Amino acid sequence: MKRIFVPPIKSQGIKTKLVDWISSNVDGVKYERWVEPFMGTGVVAFNIRPKRALMCDSNPHLINFYKALQNKEITSGLVNKYLTEEGLKLLDSEGEYYYDVRDRFNKNGNPLDFLFLSRSCFNGMMRFNKKGGFNVPFCRKPNRFAQALVTKITNQVYYISQIIESGNYTFVNQDFKETVKEINPTDLVYSDPPYLGRHVDYFDSWTEEEELILNNGLEASKAKYILSTWLSNKYRTNEYVFSVWKNCKISTMEHFYHVGAKEDNRNAVYEALLTNFDVKDSISNTNMKNRIDRNESQLTSKQRKIYVTPIQLSMSLEEAKSLTRGIS
């Protein structure tokens, strides 16, 4: 197994665990430029290490952070000094200083403060309120930036900066609808949009309409593309895989890992890679649907609901969302 380079920024949708799998599927695929309309932390590209890449996201703070690494406004040395000093203030204030940094960041958007918040907020979550303000509470560990973590983050900044420097990377803060217009037929696109119905925040929400626009844009581009999505969880199967993405081939983790007893996996969400070209172990959309319908797939539960149209699925997800609203 290759060494995985973990980016310094954390986010709930980070695909660190899928890097090896995605990487093994693109080995040997020829392309001129790697494109990510939803780069998030960038962990996938930073490990695949294409020579040229267009990395985009609607969240300006992610893009600003990587641009700052690229133009050396942020270096590993600077991060070490900054986190050591700010970490001491956090410790001295018994954690209260976190909220000073959060207020400061919400006024001026400093990328170093973004790193501080990403690494000391509750559960490494990234969430913004209706006004675009970062609103995740403190992780409640005043000694969060102890020397060992500062060194770890410093090293992460160092390695990711080296990777960015060794390639021709362009970081752009834009909506995916703009990015898909810029795709060339010789590009390889890795698309990891938000999952419908999961969570909604200022920079990160997703609708059925957007899913369709993405599908149309990718198809029209004539480029090879890979889409990360979920296939199933305990309650349901992602019917978009079989409607919106019906022309894609499917590769699932089922091919790579033994899926143990159902009991152990009751909270698992099974991931799938959808591609418009053959990858190792991929099967056709129809084959996967038949496997699920015949209960031959280990990745689904018999309790799954069947949605005839994406709109029905969307309505049901909305319903589920309204039930959980107010919890966070």
Ligand X SMILES: C[S@@+](CC[C@H](N)C(=O)[O-])C[C@H]1O[C@@H](n2cnc3c(N)ncnc32)[C@H](O)[C@@H]1O
Decide if residue 43 touches ligand X (CB under 6 A): yes
The count of chain residues that interact with ligand X, using the rule CB under 6 A, is 19
**Maximal CA-CA distance, the chain:** 60
Q: Can you tell me the distance from the alpha carbon of 135 to that of 99, in angstroms, rounded to the nearest whole number? A: 10
Q: From edge to edge, which strands make up the β-sheet containing 249-252?
A: 168-173, 52-57, 33-36, 187-191, 224-232, 270-275, 249-252, 283-284
Nearest approach in angstroms of CB 134 to ligand X is: 13
Do 270 and 18 form a contact (C-beta atoms < 8 A)? no
Which among 22, 24, 17, 45 is positioned nearest to 228, based on CA atoms? Answer: 22
Of 172-191, binders to ligand X (CB under 6 A) are: 175-176
Residues in CB range of 153: below 8 A, 6 or more apart: 8, 79, 83, 115, 119
- Measured from the CB atom, the residue of 207 and 286 that comes closer to ligand X is 207
Decide if residue 272 touches ligand X (CB under 6 A): no
- Measured from the CB atom, the residue of 204 and 271 that comes closer to ligand X is 204
- Measured from the CB atom, the residue of 204 and 208 that comes closer to ligand X is 204
Nearest approach in angstroms of CB 48 to ligand X is: 12
- Measured from the CB atom, the residue of 41 and 297 that comes closer to ligand X is 41
Decide if residue 11 touches ligand X (CB under 6 A): yes
Q: Can you tell me the distance from the alpha carbon of 59 to that of 203, in angstroms, rounded to the nearest whole number? A: 5
Do 76 and 215 form a contact (C-beta atoms < 8 A)? no
> 33-36 and 270-275: which strand pairing?
unpaired
Do 179 and 54 form a contact (C-beta atoms < 8 A)? yes
Decide if residue 214 touches ligand X (CB under 6 A): no
| β-strand partners of 56 | 172
- Measured from the CB atom, the residue of 186 and 207 that comes closer to ligand X is 207
Stretch that binds ligand X, among 51-59, 70-78, 268-276, 306-314 (CB under 6 A): 51-59
Q: 3-state DSSP call for residue 200?
A: coil
Decide if residue 203 touches ligand X (CB under 6 A): yes
- Measured from the CB atom, the residue of 128 and 283 that comes closer to ligand X is 128
- Measured from the CB atom, the residue of 158 and 195 that comes closer to ligand X is 195
Which among 75, 17, 46, 37 is positioned nearest to 253, based on CA atoms? Answer: 17
Decide if residue 41 touches ligand X (CB under 6 A): yes
Stretch that binds ligand X, among 53-61, 259-267, 293-301, 319-327 (CB under 6 A): 53-61
- Measured from the CB atom, the residue of 40 and 87 that comes closer to ligand X is 40
Decide if residue 211 touches ligand X (CB under 6 A): no
Decide if residue 142 touches ligand X (CB under 6 A): no
| Interface residue with ligand X, options 8, 15, 118, 127 (CB under 6 A) | 15
Do 186 and 31 form a contact (C-beta atoms < 8 A)? yes
Q: Annotate 203-240 with three-state secondary structure.
A: CCCCCHHHHHHHHHHHHHHCCEEEEEEEEECCCEECHH
Residues in CB range of 40: below 8 A, 6 or more apart: 11, 13, 14, 15, 57, 62, 192
| Interface residue with ligand X, options 86, 113, 187, 192 (CB under 6 A) | 192
> 224-232 and 249-252: which strand pairing?
unpaired
- Measured from the CB atom, the residue of 192 and 271 that comes closer to ligand X is 192
| Interface residue with ligand X, options 5, 6, 8, 14 (CB under 6 A) | 14
Q: Minimal CB distance to ligand X: which residue?
A: 40
What is the per-residue binding string for ligand X in 118-137, x denoting contact by CB under 6 A? --------------------
Residues found near ligand X in the complex (CB under 6 A): 11, 13-15, 37-38, 40-41, 43-44, 57-59, 175-176, 192, 194, 203-204
